[in-house]
Chains A and B, each alone.
Chain A
Amino acid sequence: MAIEIRDLQALKLACQALGLQFRENQRTYRWYGRYMGDSQLPAGFTPEELGRCEHAISVPGNRYAYEVGVLRRRDGKPGFALYYDNWQGGGGLEERIGENARRLKQEYASQVATRQLRRQGFRVVRQLSADGRILLKGVK
């Protein structure tokens, strides 16, 4: 399965788990401020629109770190895209969210799956494997 960000509550919980701050309705995110052409834009967005978002995610206590913009997708699919300026790891941002926000997406998926399994009446046990995988086991 390929993860799609649709559940903002799960995204908030993922941010909390990784020590990030979800800034609801913050309409701009911190970045370099000028598109240098060294990263792929989210589908349907122009360089002029960078820096604007629906919500933002920041690293508390690090005023130099760039922020993640949570953008409503424009590729015809529902949900949100995550975009940030990854120059030099986003000034400390990637230490928390992982390269290409993989760690944040992984934690998001874990939160979505846990919430859904509980809704279906499962008791959920979570384990972290040595190779970095998150394993969830739902038992009724």
Chain B
Amino acid sequence: MPTVTVTIDAEGNVQVGVRGAPGPACKDLTRELEAALGETIKDSSTREMRDIVHLPLRRSVRR
């Protein structure tokens, strides 16, 4: 079940986070939200997202 968190500080800076949507599904969930809010200054993936994205590659290397 995906959860999106949005934190808006008193300066008006916004942070968007996603849980439960690994890999590209994460960006699919936030793409429209980010576009509606404004300009993305920094975009970093969490371990959850990175692990899922890289897993198939590791498996193919082991074979």
Query: Which residues of A are interface residues toward B (Cβ below 8 A)?
Result: 1-4, 6-7, 98, 102-103, 105-106, 109-110, 112-113, 115-117, 119-120, 122, 131-140
Contacts and interface: CB of A to CB of B under 8 A. Distances in A.
Contacts of A136: 5-8
A135 B9 contact: no
Nearest to A138: B4
Contacts of A98: 10
Given A1-B13, A109-B37, A140-B1, A134 B8 contact: yes
A116 B32 contact: yes
Contact of B10 (A3, A4, A132): A132
Interface on chain A toward B: helix, strand, loop, or mixed SS?
Answer: mixed
A102 B11 contact: yes
Contacts of A134: 7-8
Contact of B8 (A6, A109, A122): A109
A102 B12 contact: yes
Contacts of A3: 12-14, 37-38
B37 A113 contact: yes
Nearest 3 Cβ contacts at the A-B interface? A4-B38, A132-B10, A105-B12
